[in-house]
Each structure stands twice: as C-alpha cells, then as structure tokens.
Structure 1
Amino acid sequence: MKYGTISGLDKPVSRLVLGCADLKDTAVLDAAVDAGVNAFDTAHVYGGSEELLGRWLKGRDLDKLVIETKGCHPTPLRPDRVTPACLVKDVETSLRRLGVECIDLFLLHRDSHHAQAGELVETLNDLKKQGKLRAFGGSNWTAERIQEANDYAAAHDLEPFTVSSPHFGLACQIRDPWGGGAGCVTLTGADREGERAWYRESGTAVLAFSSLARGMLSGKISAADPKRADKLDAAGRRGYDCPENWERLRRAEVLAKEKGCTVAQLSLAWLFHQDMNAYAIFSTGNPARIAANCGALEVALTREECRWLNLEADGR
C-alpha cells in the first residue's frame, strides 16, 4: 500500500479508500485493513453504513484509521440542506453513529446555489475548534466554489477546505448517475481541464468517487459483450454508458493483458498517474477483490499510454 497526506490530518491516508455506501458485512473492512487500506468513506445518507462501521470501529486503534463521512445531502422533504444548521446536526448524528469523538475528514455532500460559502466555512471551523472535525472539504463542489470558500477562509484567518470528492476516473461521467439534478460534479472530460489544472496547482486532495465507473472498469464486463450495458446498474448506465467509455474499456483490456494486470488495476493506475494528490474510492462486497485492487499501485504507465487510454491519442 502507498499513502499520502491531507492537510489538516496528522496521519497518513491510503491511496485506496474503501467505499462503504452499501456496506453489509464487516469482513470487507477486515480485508481492507489486512491489505493496508486504512481509509473508509461513508455518509449521513448511506442508511446503516455509519452504524455498521461504528460497531466495527469499537476497540480499534483510531490513530491508525481514517474515517471520512459526508453530510448536508438534500432529501425529498428538504431539498436544500446545505446550511449551517443542517451541517451541525449531521456532524452530531455522524459522531453518534460512528461512536467517535472526532471525524477525521468531513465533507459537505452536495453544494447549493443558495449556500453562502463563508457561513459554512465559519461553521466548519467552529466544529473543528470543538474537536469534532480534523479536516474538511466538499463533495461535488466545483473548484470555483472551493476557491470561493478558501478565499473567505484566508481573508478571515480560518482553516480552508483541504479535500474534495468529485467523480474522477478513466471513464467520463456523461450524465448525473442518480438523475434528478443531484449535482454530481466530475473532473472528467475535455471541458474540465481547467478544474484538473486547479487541483494540480493547489494540491487539494481528491477523493475520487466511482473511480471504476459503477463497475464498468472493474473487469466484470467485457467491451466485446453485446449485452455489456445490461450488466451495469441504472446509475452506471446513466452516468457512463456511451461509445467513448466502451472504447476506453476496450483499450484498458488490451493494455492490461500486455502488462499482466487486471482491468481494474490498470484503470485505477491511470487515476494515480494524473499528477494530483489523488485517492481512489472503490466499493466491493468481495474481500478478495480488495487486495487485488491494491495491485494498481504497482502498475506503471507512460504519459503516452495514459493519453491513449483516455482517447487523447490514436497510438502509444
């Protein structure tokens, strides 16, 4: 395993982060730790995920683990929850569910055009001063909005956002996977080069969600399968089902065979070759896949291979 550092957090963070949105069995948590993974992604809206993770955490050395959770996600009855009041409420709820005194990384799950970035920065800093958060940032916040928050922090001698969790991976996100205008921000696509440059220059940590495109790049689907799209869930079809992404998968299959690695390892390796402080969130119910995916950190890619995989070049 390889580890990175996130400003505001005084412990290393594994480059692979286990996504716990659909957590049902703590065996995958044990397997993750055995493989060197020490970071876990959950959220206030992930049903029983926080509670199950919290039960597993009891009696463990929290100094060696990194727990990241998210709050302020809209609900059908409360479409705009990106407010200081909801932020405080969700932090308190997550602390109770997780059974911890302090959350390592707390992210605002969504953004809202009604939200005042400065008010949220003030509230996050208050929570940090109370010892309830170590570091914080945004999930599905654009670079522009994060910069707005950080400009406010700098002007008022406050702690800034140091981490962000957008979609990022080899497959481009072509539509909001969950529909309904939930505001799923991606760093993929030619029109996002400015945002990617911002992350490279700022060093802001990127916790990339859906790094394997809802299973499209996990190796369980072949680009040659005529019924390949049927093997994606509804969110996967909405977000990633397009000819360009199937061609990315085909090229990943070719190069993975040449390098003697899996498609998932190659796809994750591409993410780690993008000159960012990047961490890949991946989910699985199969403990064996965790150790296999960690092999991505040993796969070397040239710049030409990365460009070819991403359809930026015809040859390599």
Structure 2
Amino acid sequence: MEYATLGRSGLRVSTAGLGTMNFGAPGGCGETEATRIVDAFLEAGGNVIDTADAYTGGEAERIVGRAVRGRRDEVVLATKAFLPQGSGPNDRGLSRAHLTRALEDSLRRLGTDHIDLYQCHHWDDSTPIEETMATLDGFVRSGKVRYIGCSNFTAAQIVEAQWAAQRVGGTPFVSLQPEYSLVARGIEAEILPVCLRHGLGTLVWSPLGGGVLSGRYRSGETPGADTRLGRLMASPIPAARTWAEGFLTESNLAIAGHVADAAAELGVAPAAVALAWVRSRPEVTSVIVGPRTLDQLRGNLAGLELVLPSDVAAHLDEISR
C-alpha cells in the first residue's frame, strides 16, 4: 500500500480508500462480511475508511465503529453530513443547527471522540457558506474534528468555501470527494485544477462507473437482477432508475468494451484495468472502492496495484476523453 499527503495538510492517507455505502444496505453486505472487509483492508495497509450519516440510516456508521474498535488510531475515519436525518425543517443541510447535531450523532454511532475527516456531502444553497465554514472551524477547534472536506462540490463552490474560510478566519477544506472514472471525466475541465490551486486532495468515488466498467453489462441486454444497476432499474423510485440509466448509455458501454478488450489482452479482470487507470491519474490522491464481499475487495486492491502499459493507458485515455 502506498500513501500520499491529503491536499494542503500533513495527513497521510492510503491511495486506496474503503467506501462503506454497502454496509448494512439491501443488496449490500451484513455486519459479519463488512467486518471481514474492514479487517482485510486494514491488514493490507489501507487506512482511509469513508462513510456517511445517510448510509443505511446510520447503520453503516455503527458497523464501522464496531469494526474498528480497539484499533481506532490506525484509521483515518471519514464521514459526511448534509442529507435528511428526519422530517423536521432543520434535519438536513449545512446550517450550524443541523451540522452540530449531525456531528454528535455520528460520533455516537461511530463510538469515537473525534472524526479525522468531516465532509459536507453536498452544497447547501439555503445556508450562507460563511456559517458553514465557521461551524466546521468550531468543530476543529473543539478537537471533535481533525480536518474538513467536501463532496460533490463544483469548482465555483470550492472557491466560495475556501474564500469564506479566509473571511471568517477559519479552517479551509483539504479534500474533495468527486465522482471520477473512465466514463465520468468531467472534473478534469475545472474542478481538478481548482483543487490543485486551493489545496484540496481528491478521494474519488465510483471509479468503476457504477459497475459499468466491471464488464457485467452489455449493449442491448437488460441488467441482471443480481447486479447493482439491475436492482436500481427495478426500483420503484424514479430517481434510482434515472441514475442507473445514466450509466447504461451506449457511449459508456462502448468504453467498457475497450476496457474489457484491454483486460483480455493483459490477462486481468476489466475492473482491474478501470481501477488502474484512475489510480494512475496524478491528480488523484486516493481511490475509494465500495466492495460488497471480501473477494471484491481483494480484486479491487489487486487492480489498484496494477500498472498499465503506457500504450494501453494512452488508448483508454483517448477513447474516453
């Protein structure tokens, strides 16, 4: 396992991160398998475990807290807040009222006295960014949070937040969690340059493009009921179906075909090729993988150790540009 400094900070993080959205979720993994995954990840040298208060109604945080008990100091524990935690008007967002309660709830579920990386899950149009950054700075000064970051922010929102931190004399963000893969490269235009300029490392999520790059989906074929996108396509929730359809485009499936061809040529799994490409990008600090099984974790970690031949990397870069 390799390590890198997270943004403009002194925090060292593993170049592989463990995402926990599947922990305790329907179609994901139960606590026994989740604990095995955490054990294997830490044994492999990984230290970043990323969760959120919204994952499975807080159950993911509870599972992670129990899994790292007794070895908390080995872990860079990251969680996020923003999404609804109830039906009240102050049960969501980045206001001082909601964030203060959300932090205390996350600390309790995780069974810890501090969060290493506390992140804003999304931008909040209804709260002045100065209020958010001053609140987060208070968390850092109290010792309940070590570093702060954001997820899914645009380039302009990152700049606004960093400037707001300066205005209130507070703590700036040191990280961004953006979506990034061979089928989602939009952050290259503005977001990655802004991260570099403003001192944010990147912990990228969905490096397999929602699973499209794993080789499990084919053009003209209905996704299998046992696949992630298959389950989402069958969901009664329109937003879930729309999200899945957004991955299963002809252009994405064509890129996945090139990934599969490269994998066959190298004698590895398609997922390994897709992960190796993301890992090779110089702007990426850590790649978050979200396995449902221990075998998936092992395959993901092997992929992150793969070094693509320069001609293969260049070809994938060109066809997905």
Q: What is the TM-score when the length of structure 2 is the normalising length? A: 0.83
Q: 1:43 aligns with which of 52, 60, 64?
A: 52
SS across alignment from 1:17: strand
CA shift, 1:298, in A, is 3.0
Dislocated runs of 4+, deviation >6 Å: none
1:255-280 per-position Cα deviation (integer Å, ceiling 9, x unaligned): 12222322111111111222214322
**Aligned residue number for residue 256 of structure 2:** 249
**Aligned residue number for residue 205 of structure 1:** 201
Query: Where does 1:260-275 land on structure 2 (aligned, <5 Å)?
Result: 260-275=267-282
SS across alignment from 1:53: helix
| 1:125 counterpart = 2:137 | yes
Which is worse superposed, 12-21 or 245-254? 12-21
Question: Please, which runs of 5 or more residues in structure 1 have no aligned partner?
Answer: 173-187
**Aligned residue number for residue 265 of structure 2:** 258
CA shift, 1:311, in A, is 4.9
**Aligned residue number for residue 213 of structure 2:** 217
Residues 7, 199 of structure 2: 8 Å contact kept: no
CA distance in 1, matches of 2:7, 2:183: 28
CA distance in 1, matches of 2:47, 2:320: 36
CA shift, 1:203, in A, is 4.6
Which is worse superposed, 100-109 or 263-272? 263-272
Structure with greater proportional helix content: 2
CA distance in 2, matches of 1:140, 1:7: 16
CA shift, 1:136, in A, is 0.7
| 1:33 counterpart = 2:28 | no
CA distance in 2, matches of 1:143, 1:119: 19
Percent of aligned pairs with the same amino acid = 29
CA distance in 1, matches of 2:82, 2:217: 37
CA distance in 1, matches of 2:189, 2:108: 40
CA distance in 1, matches of 2:311, 2:171: 39
* Residue identity opposite 1:34 in structure 2: E
CA shift, 1:36, in A, is 2.1
CA distance in 2, matches of 1:57, 1:15: 19
- State how many pairs are aligned: 296
Question: Please, which runs of 5 or more residues in structure 2 have no aligned partner?
Answer: 24-29, 233-239
SS across alignment from 1:159: coil
CA distance in 1, matches of 2:268, 2:193: 29
CA distance in 1, matches of 2:224, 2:159: 37
SS across alignment from 1:137: strand
1:127-156 per-position Cα deviation (integer Å, ceiling 9, x unaligned): 000001111111111121111111122344
CA distance in 2, matches of 1:295, 1:111: 34
**Aligned residue number for residue 27 of structure 2:** none
- For the structure 1 residues 225 and 286, does the alpha-carbon distance in structure 2 shift closer, same or farther, using more than 3 Å as the test? farther
Query: Where does 1:94-105 land on structure 2 (aligned, <5 Å)?
Result: 94-105=106-117
SS across alignment from 1:59: coil
- For the structure 1 residues 155 and 306, does the alpha-carbon distance in structure 2 shift closer, same or farther, using more than 3 Å as the test? farther
Q: What is the TM-score when the length of structure 1 is the normalising length? A: 0.84
Residues 129, 160 of structure 2: 8 Å contact kept: yes
Query: Where does 1:300-311 land on structure 2 (aligned, <5 Å)?
Result: 300-301=307-308, 305-311=312-318
Question: Cα RMSD between the aligned structures?
Answer: 2.5
Q: 2:77 aligns with which of 67, 70, 83?
A: 67
**Aligned residue number for residue 181 of structure 1:** none
| 1:196 counterpart = 2:203 | no
CA distance in 2, matches of 1:158, 1:304: 46
Residues 166, 209 of structure 1: 8 Å contact kept: yes
Residues 2, 297 of structure 1: 8 Å contact kept: no
Query: Where does 1:1-16 land on structure 2 (aligned, <5 Å)?
Result: 1-7=1-7, 10-16=10-16
CA shift, 1:95, in A, is 0.7
Query: Where does 1:49-198 land on structure 2 (aligned, <5 Å)?
Result: 49-60=60-71, 62-74=72-84, 77=87, 78=89, 81-172=93-184, 188-189=185-186, 193-198=189-194
SS across alignment from 2:102: helix
Residues 207, 281 of structure 1: 8 Å contact kept: yes
CA shift, 1:201, in A, is 4.2
1:46-72 per-position Cα deviation (integer Å, ceiling 9, x unaligned): 121111111122211x22211110012
1:6-41 per-position Cα deviation (integer Å, ceiling 9, x unaligned): 147654211111111121231111121122222111
